[in-house]
Structure 1
Amino acid sequence: MIADLKTFIERERPVWQELERELGRVREGLASLSDLKYSRHLLALYQRASADLARIQGYSAEPELKAYLENLVGTGYAEIHSATRNSRHFKPWHWLTRTFPDTFRRQIWGFNMAVILTFVGAMLGGILVLHGNEGREAIFPSQFGHLVEQTPSQRVAREERPTEFDRMSGHKARFSAELMQNNITVSLRALAFGITFGILTVVLLFYNGVILGAVAVDYVMDGQIVFLFGWLLPHGSIEIPAILVAGQGGLVLGRALIGWGTPHSLRKRLRLITPDLATLAGGAAVMLIWAGIVEAFFSQYHAPVLPYWVKITFGTVELVGLIAFLFLCGRRAPSEPAP
């Protein structure tokens, strides 16, 4: 029994309005019922509105309020009890601009570890290159023999010859597809290697760092810094972070298998991280597709056809944009409840 209907309405109206607002966010795809904490909060709002509807059933003087609550509770029931509907309606733009960066930030520890492993590997690679050809032979696989046989200056001179400008004429699309396939394979391997409790993911990230550091120091020592940045930045500013994101997924998987810091069973740990792993893998793949296109149609052109300052500026803008996207995109206002 309600002693004071007016006071009751004033007290409960904020709850109804919040429920109405959150149901709108769920319908628009701005909130997900797959988040346990959020779904419990929404269910509590729904149950309270249902109880309020039951309490005013005997008041014939408030037909509009009763109709409003009946509609609100009905909508809430439809959304809450059909949560699986949202999983069957994939929204690419929402996934790219909100789900992916949000997942990246939630598992940022894995990315930080991937960066550290790559950086340590790069330091070792740089140190080995300082020992001359013996260090190069110890680092570079046989298919990269030209990195041992030629100095960076010789390679740059070859790349800048006029006869080299159109060497991929008519083959750029195929070359781009090959780059995408190779890079996506390497990245997915870094993620899948998490099944080894993250051990092979650590090895792969470290070795990639060794190669990267060796190449960078080799060019820097030979005075080819401008060429190095002009060559690597356009595609590397996206490709390298993509591999790190894939490695991030592998480390997340490895940690879940080991079970650090959680009382959950192995099955539950894997179930909890599966959406994040799929998102990180998909995000890395999208980044690598873009990097492959840039590498084939932009990075392979050198001065004087394409000035290095243009390539460096382009790569820098890409890197800044990627950082802003990953760390800022999809963030909610302080007053906006988390999904």
Structure 2
Amino acid sequence: MDIDAFTAVHSKEWDRLAQLAGRRRLDGAEADELVRLYQAVATHLSTVRSAAPDPAVVTRLSELLVRARAKIAGAHEPAWRGVVRFAVVTAPAAVYRIRWWTHAVTAAALAVAVVAGVNVATDPEALRAMGPPSVQEQYVNQAFAEYYDPGAGFAGVVWSNNFRIALFSIGGGITGIVPLFVLWQNSVSVGAIGGMMAAHGELDTFLTLIAPHGLLELTAIFVAGAAGLRFFWSWIDPGPLKRSASLAREGRSLITAGITLMAALGVSGLIEGFVTGSSMFWWLKILIGAVALGAFWAYVYVLGGRAVRDGETGDLSSDEAGAYAVTAG
């Protein structure tokens, strides 16, 4: 497409839209014309972006549409509509976009945990590194189970600690190292504790106390690690955008993912605070954890998949995020 010819053909419409968007008052005919031109220019912007992404034209039309939309809409939608849309469209889309990153991170982290656990359970030297025999016995037979003290206070402490770890992974993602460090540290720690419990014949205790809340909790940590790594990758491979624009877009999406994880970790914190250490049957505890994990992935794959197929990315809308310049190469 010849961008100069395209601009020459449509520049009068663009100028007219700018004129109408800048007026304080419009009569009925002018308001109708404003809406019609807004729709036409939105189509022009889509055409330019797909066929000839000239940065100057894209920026001009994006800014023009922002002003025109503000003139048409006047006021924002009621806040509750924005909250509902965020919960059922934006949030699941943000997590769905990084689902393959999450699955890869999960597989790698579980592999590290298993290797660490087997090493501690089968290697006397590795087991001794976990502490003196008396300390190990006290931890295995008493401290591990007593840690899960039922109550709202414990649930709140667990939630805040896990959310801090998740935010650290996402926020430090730009380095590419922080998410890997957090994932490695957590995987080795969980695996080593499991290995020590197994070496003392208490692997079943470990699994029945970790599984109820850990299924969702560890998944949330893996999602956070995946989000941080995806943030880093947007800097390495920005696509058609400038690196700053690519990082900004991905960063906004990952903030959305972080808010989603805050809710998921809240649920896992409630399970850890009121289910894990309770007197329920062990199979019922694990069933509750499995249902919570299943609900999380159903939320991501059903609502998030539908949203992404409709063009959502978890980012702000183009009007809210502002214009960005498309660059070649």
Residue aligning to 2:153: 174
Cα distance change on mapping 1:98 and 1:218 into 2, 3 Å: farther
Residue aligning to 1:9: none
Does residue 100 of structure 2 align to residue 100 of structure 1? no
Does residue 120 of structure 2 align to residue 129 of structure 1? yes
2:250 partner letter: I
Residue aligning to 1:285: 262
Whole-Å separation in 1 of the counterparts to 2:205 and 2:92: 32
User: Once the 2 structures are TM-superposed, how far is the Cα of residue 193 of structure 1 from its aligned partner?
Assistant: 1.7
Cα distance change on mapping 1:84 and 1:327 into 2, 3 Å: farther
Cα distance change on mapping 1:78 and 1:227 into 2, 3 Å: same
Q: Which has the higher contact order (CA 8 A, sep 6+)?
A: 2
Deviations 1:103-155 (A, max 9, x none): 111122431342243123213312321344532465x6x8xx89962278624
Secondary structure of 2:244's counterpart equals: helix
Structure 1 portions without partners, runs of 5+: 1-38, 48-76
Secondary structure of 2:306's counterpart equals: coil
Secondary structure of 2:274's counterpart equals: helix
Question: Which of the numbers 243, 252, 259 marks the counterpart of 1:266?
Answer: 243
Is this contact kept in 2: 1:117–1:206, CA < 8 A? no
Question: Which of the numbers 274, 278, 291 marks the counterpart of 1:317?
Answer: 291
Residue aligning to 1:23: none
Residue aligning to 2:58: none
Which TM-score applies when normalising by structure 1? 0.62
Residue aligning to 2:273: 296
Cα distance change on mapping 1:42 and 1:308 into 2, 3 Å: farther
Structure 2 portions without partners, runs of 5+: 1-37, 47-67, 313-329
1:228 partner letter: F
Matches within 5 A, 1:43-192: 43-44=42-43, 82=73, 85=76, 91-132=82-123, 134-136=125-127, 138=129, 149-150=136-137, 154-155=141-142, 159=145, 168=149, 172-192=151-171
Q: Which moved more, 1:239-248 or 1:145-154?
A: 145-154
1:150 partner letter: E
Q: Which moved more, 1:261-270 or 1:178-187?
A: 261-270
Max Rg structure: 1
User: Once the 2 structures are TM-superposed, how far is the Cα of residue 299 of structure 1 from its aligned partner?
Assistant: 0.8
Which TM-score applies when normalising by structure 2? 0.64
Is this contact kept in 2: 1:111–1:244, CA < 8 A? yes
User: Once the 2 structures are TM-superposed, how far is the Cα of residue 227 of structure 1 from its aligned partner?
Assistant: 2.8
Whole-Å separation in 1 of the counterparts to 2:133 and 2:224: 29
Residue aligning to 2:209: 231
User: Once the 2 structures are TM-superposed, how far is the Cα of residue 236 of structure 1 from its aligned partner?
Assistant: 0.9
Is this contact kept in 2: 1:226–1:308, CA < 8 A? no
Is this contact kept in 2: 1:123–1:213, CA < 8 A? yes
Deviations 1:242-262 (A, max 9, x none): 1111112211221122x2262
2:247 partner letter: L
Is this contact kept in 1: 2:120–2:195, CA < 8 A? yes
User: Once the 2 structures are TM-superposed, how far is the Cα of residue 212 of structure 1 from its aligned partner?
Assistant: 2.1
Whole-Å separation in 1 of the counterparts to 2:40 and 2:190: 47
Whole-Å separation in 2 of the counterparts to 1:192 and 1:78: 33
Residue aligning to 1:216: 194
Relative to its length, the structure with more helix (as a share) is 2
Deviations 1:47-101 (A, max 9, x none): 9xxxxxxxxxxxxxxxxxxxxxxxxxxxxx6578559946977733332232222
Secondary structure of 1:329's counterpart equals: helix
User: Once the 2 structures are TM-superposed, how far is the Cα of residue 282 of structure 1 from its aligned partner?
Assistant: 0.7
Secondary structure of 1:332's counterpart equals: helix
Cα distance change on mapping 1:150 and 1:42 into 2, 3 Å: farther
Whole-Å separation in 2 of the counterparts to 1:249 and 1:83: 35
Is this contact kept in 1: 2:212–2:271, CA < 8 A? yes
1:127 partner letter: V
Identical amino acids, percent of aligned pairs: 22
